[in-house]
Each structure stands twice: as C-alpha cells, then as structure tokens.
Amino acid sequence: MRTSDLKVATVSDIHLGAKRTPTRDIIKNLKAAFPDNEETAELDMICLVGDVFDTLLSLNDEDLVEIDFWIAHLLRLCKKHDIVLYVLEGTPSHDWRQSERFVSINEIAGIGANLKYVKDISVEYEPSLDIWVGFVPDESAPTTDQTLSQIYDLLRAKGLEQVDLMFMHGQFEYQLPPHVKAQKHDSEAYLRITRMGVFIGHVHIQSTYKWIYAQGSFDRLGHGEEEPKGHFRATFHPNGDRDVVFVENAGARKFITVYCMHMSVEDSLLEIERRVKHLPDNSAVRLEANYDHPLFADMDALMRIYPQFVWSKNPKDADEVEEPALEEGTVEFVPITITRENIVELLSERLQSMGVSADMIAIAQTKIDEVR
C-alpha cells in the first residue's frame, strides 16, 4: 500500500496520421500539454489509453518521421523525470499494433525509459510505484462479458480482489444511448474491482461516472466535435481521496458548422461572419444549407473572403429528416477486427455455437495454427 500521493496523467484517442487534423498540429499540442517543466516532473505515470494511431501507416508516410521523433521525445522526457509510461493498444483498425514503435525506439535509441506496451488483457504489479494495474485493450475478447471473466480469472490467480488502477479502451454502457447495439463494459463491475480510478478511451467525448474517467479524444478530428478536448491529471492520496482535473487542450483544432438553412445570401454571410470572426487560422468550417443554396454554387467566393480557413459544405434536402432511432430489440451489426491473435478464439466460438464437437474444434484449431 502506497504511503504517498500518486500522480497520473492519461491521454487517449490521439489518432496520429488522421486525415482531417494534421499530425504536426496534434504533436505540437501534445508537447504543449507535457512540457519539460516542474509540473510534468511531478508525475509518477503517464498512460496513453489507446488509439495513438488513426490508421495503418506505410513506411514512406510523411507523418511517420515526425511521429517517431515525438515518441523519442516522450520517452526521453519520462526517463529524465523517472515517469512510468504505459501505452495501451486501442481499436485494432486504428492502432494496428504500431505502438510497438515505442518499444523499438526505447531499445534501439538506448533511452531506457520505464515503458510498458500492453496489447493483451492483463493484471500487473508496478514495483516502482507499489501498485497493481489492470489493462483492457479494445476488442480483446469476442464479448465484454468474456473480457470481464478474464479479468476475474487474473485477479484470482494473483490473489487479488481489486487493482489500484484500470486502463481500458472501449465503452461503458453509460457512455452510449440505450438503442445503440454495441459491446459495452459493465461500469459497476469495474468500479467494484478498481480502488483508485478507471480510465477509458475510445468514445471521443470526455465524461466522468463515479471514479470512471473517459478522457475523450485529445484533439478535434472532425465535425461534430465542438466540445473541449484534452487529458486528465489525477492525484490519488493515501487516505483514499482523489483529485482528478480535466486539462483542456487549448490548441485543439476548431471544427464548426454554420447553419444557413433557408437563409438568404445576405443573412447567410452575416451568420458566417458572426461565427468565424474569432476563429484561429486553419480552423475547419462547414456550411450546412439547403442543397440549392446560392453559396454552394460559388464556394470559391467564401474561400477568397476567408482564405485562412478550410471550407466544406453539407447540402441538405428541404424534406430530409433524421433517420429514425433503432427500435428496441433491433440488432445492429457491430464489426470485430479479425487478427492473427484472435482468429482462433473467434472461430472456436462460432463453431461451438453451431454445435460442433469439442474434438472437431480442437482439430480446426490445430489446422489454423499451422497456417497463421
């Protein structure tokens, strides 16, 4: 049991390599969030809670060199100030296990930071901080019930009832509307097995429920994300008290939508002027209006008036209506990324549900192992 304060910073859904927000700008904001100063030096741990990357990058991608330099910068910062760095694997279709680069750069460059890259469900003891930590990457098991069962098994195997901290990538039921048919973790179950705090990435909107903290995305990545962005700083006291503060990323790129449905050209221009006059350069501005609005015929005019912004349009039919919400009981297809690591488990589950015998499933597993 720790006898001193534990100071933790958590960041998630960075999405380096994103198309709409330049990687260079995201990295600039990350460096501003974690400068080499006294406040950063006080941290005991930084955790990147999944989706460090947005997509699979090729070796000649222009963002990759800058990403590698930032990884080295963060590792050196953590080494200098004796900060534990955890990097959790996020959604497979985003991260693609590219966070292995943290391990490679840490070793090849001889940095020697106290780094742990986590790609599997696990419960680990961190000796430098005298705490137990649980990790749940995204899509770690076919269902969230199976994920929780694996966590229970790991706790029992280590003689634990609780961990001190839990880092997860996915979503809890409180974060999504009831009609959304997606795999959701059980918030109360994870609260019962976590003493200090649960930190979860994936949903891009920041939220808090009891001692569950969802950072949201670190930067804005598209329209519809006008809420504040940033990361959490948490101080856990030995008496059980906790101070958790959301630190806003003031440099996050602005994405705004200007609504001009059924407005005249003159009124539309006045509304645009009102909405954009205080925006920083390189903000993304989307014009939403009826599909035959005169401004859509000459978007170049807006670009000439406001060349400092990135413009896009969202034409709407006058009779267009919102899609109806899914009826209760409707099943929505939620894809799971198939990888070399999970294909055996996924196929075994499917064969078992089809009534295939255990002996035949074992043979199928052997054949898959031979070719994967």
In this prediction, residue 1 carries a pLDDT of: 67
Q: Which residues make beta-bridge pairs with 165?
A: 133, 197
In this prediction, residue 298 carries a pLDDT of: 85
Kind of pairing, strands 84-88 and 194-202?
Answer: unpaired
| Residue indicated by tokens 């807006």 | 302
Q: Check: CB of residue 8 under 8 Å from CB of residue 44.
A: yes
Tens-level pLDDT at each residue, the chain (372 residues): 678 999 999 999 999 999 999 999 999 999 999 999 999 999 999 999 999 999 999 999 999 999 999 999 999 999 999 999 999 999 999 999 999 999 999 999 999 999 999 999 999 999 999 999 999 999 999 999 999 999 999 999 999 999 999 999 999 999 988 888 889 999 999 999 999 999 999 999 999 999 999 999 999 999 988 899 999 999 999 999 999 999 999 999 999 999 999 899 999 999 999 999 999 999 999 999 998 999 998 889 899 999 999 999 999 876 554 444 443 333 333 445 555 555 666 566 556 555 556 666 566 666 666 555
| Residue indicated by tokens 């994870």 | 190
Ranges of each domain in the chain: 6-248, 255-316, 338-372
CATH topology of domain 6-248: Purple Acid Phosphatase; chain A, domain 2 (3.60.21)
Give CA–CA dist 27/121, Å, rounded.
28
What does the block give as tokens for 166? 């839990």
Strands, sheet with 310-316, edge to edge from the N-terminal-most edge strand = 255-259, 284-290, 310-316
| Element of type H or E holding 104 | helix 100-108
Query: Hey, how many other C-beta atoms are within 10 angstroms of the C-beta on 88?
Result: 28
Q: Check: CB of residue 135 under 8 Å from CB of residue 118.
A: yes
Q: Check: CB of residue 365 under 8 Å from CB of residue 348.
A: yes
Q: Check: CB of residue 144 under 8 Å from CB of residue 183.
A: yes
| Residue indicated by tokens 């969230």 | 144
Give CA–CA dist 84/82, Å, rounded.
7
In this prediction, residue 83 carries a pLDDT of: 98
In this prediction, residue 41 carries a pLDDT of: 98
In this prediction, residue 127 carries a pLDDT of: 96
Give CA–CA dist 154/26, Å, rounded.
36
Residue 185, C-beta contacts closer than 8 angstroms, at least 6 positions apart = 136, 144, 147, 148, 168, 170, 171, 172, 173, 200
In this prediction, residue 334 carries a pLDDT of: 43
Query: Hey, how many other C-beta atoms are within 10 angstroms of the C-beta on 177?
Result: 7
| Element of type H or E holding 315 | strand 310-316
